[in-house]
């Protein structure tokens, strides 16, 4: 999903590749596989900015992929992402390389920004909270007293 | 009274497709996107939100349909 706005020679842009690795890959082979992806990016002249190691997770729906004339169905996969800086003209090659990789179930290549775009890891705003917690607090004694008063009435 | 935009309130400039916990707030039980009328999100952010949800769906982080 890379927008084709006339790539200029030599200008670097920020991209992010989110990918799903096949769950048939043993856990210990996963770092090896991501290293391959990193090497691929480096080979095209890219610099890695940020990344997250792939973790096995359940998919929201089952996905099909045809691998060597055989359709495989996936219900879980290792999801990871790499954010990197690369020349706009190199992305097409990278996309082809990702496509050809048999251990990638699916990937998403998007242009993004250098800053961290994840918001969930920092504290959320103080919307609404606090106000509700200022309910009048009563000690047991006070409650007793008010009950007695009410009963007396 | 009009509800304010969640993203500008929490100072979120970029809506990331990987933030599924945030994106889920804007989906109904059938995993369809809520309308702007329901969410109160500004039109610019609603467009970014819908793009993020669609990306998350493609990578299986969010469902296309549910129930």
Per-residue pLDDT of chain A (153 residues; tens, 9 = 90+): 555 555 455 688 999 999 999 999 898 899 999 999 999 999 888 899 999 999 999 999 999 988 888 888 999 999 999 999 999 889 999 999 999 988 999 999 999 988 887 876 654 443 434 344 444 556 777 777 777 777 776
* ipTM of predicted assembly, 2 dp: 0.82
Please name the residue of chain B whose CA is at the shortest distance from the CA of residue A64.
B60
Number of Cβ pairs < 8 A linking chain A and chain B: 58
Which of B26, B40, B60, B64 to mutate: most A Cβ within 10 Å? B60
Closest CA to B64 of A141, A117, A139, A62: A62
Give per-residue pLDDT as tens, B9-38: 888 888 999 999 999 999 999 999 999 998
CA distance A115 to B52: 17
Cβ atoms of A61 and A39 closer than 8 Å? no
Domain residue limits, chain B: 6-58
C-beta atoms of B58 and A81 within 8 A: no
Domain A12-111 in CATH 3.30.70.60? The answer is yes
* Contacting residues for A72 by C-beta, under 8 A, at least 6 apart: A22, A64, A65, A66
Nearest CB to A20; choose among B55, B60, B64: B60
What's the topology of domain B6-58?
30s Ribosomal Protein S18 (4.10.640)
From edge to edge, which strands make up the β-sheet containing A70-87?
Answer: A47-67, A70-87, A12-21, A104-111
Domain ranges of chain A: 12-111
Nearest CB to B59: which of A106, A119, A127? A106
CB B26 within 8 A of CB B19: no
- pTM over cut 0.90: no
Q: Is there a contact between B40 and B6 (Cβ–Cβ < 8 Å)?
A: yes
Cβ–Cβ of B60/A106 closer than 8 Å?
Answer: yes
């Amino acid at each position: 999903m890379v927008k084709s706005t006339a790539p200029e020679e030599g200008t670097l842009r920020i991209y992010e590749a989110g990918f799903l690795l096949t769950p048939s890959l043993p856990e210990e082979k996963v770092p090896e596989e991501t290293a391959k992806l990193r090497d691929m990016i480096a080979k095209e002249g890219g610099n890695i900015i940020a990344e997250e190691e792939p973790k096995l997770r359940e998919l929201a729906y089952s996905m099909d992929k045809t691998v060597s004339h055989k359709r495989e169905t996936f219900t879980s996969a290792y999801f990871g992402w790499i954010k990197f800086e690369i020349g706009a003209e190199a992305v097409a090659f990278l996309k082809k390389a990702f496509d050809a990789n048999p251990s990638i179930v699916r990937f998403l290549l998007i242009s993004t920004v250098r800053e961290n775009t994840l918001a969930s890891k920092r504290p959320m705003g103080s919307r609404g909270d606090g106000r509700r917690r200022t309910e009048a607090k009563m000690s047991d004694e006070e409650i007793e007293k008010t009950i007695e008063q009410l009963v007396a009435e | 009274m009009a509800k304010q935009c969640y993203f500008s309130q929490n100072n979120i400039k970029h809506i990331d497709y990987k933030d599924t916990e945030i994106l889920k707030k804007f989906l109904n039980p059938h995993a369809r996107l809520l309308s702007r009328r329901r969410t109160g999100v500004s039109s610019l952010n609603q467009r970014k939100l819908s793009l993020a949800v669609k990306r998350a769906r493609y990578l299986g982080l969010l469902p296309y349909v549910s129930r």
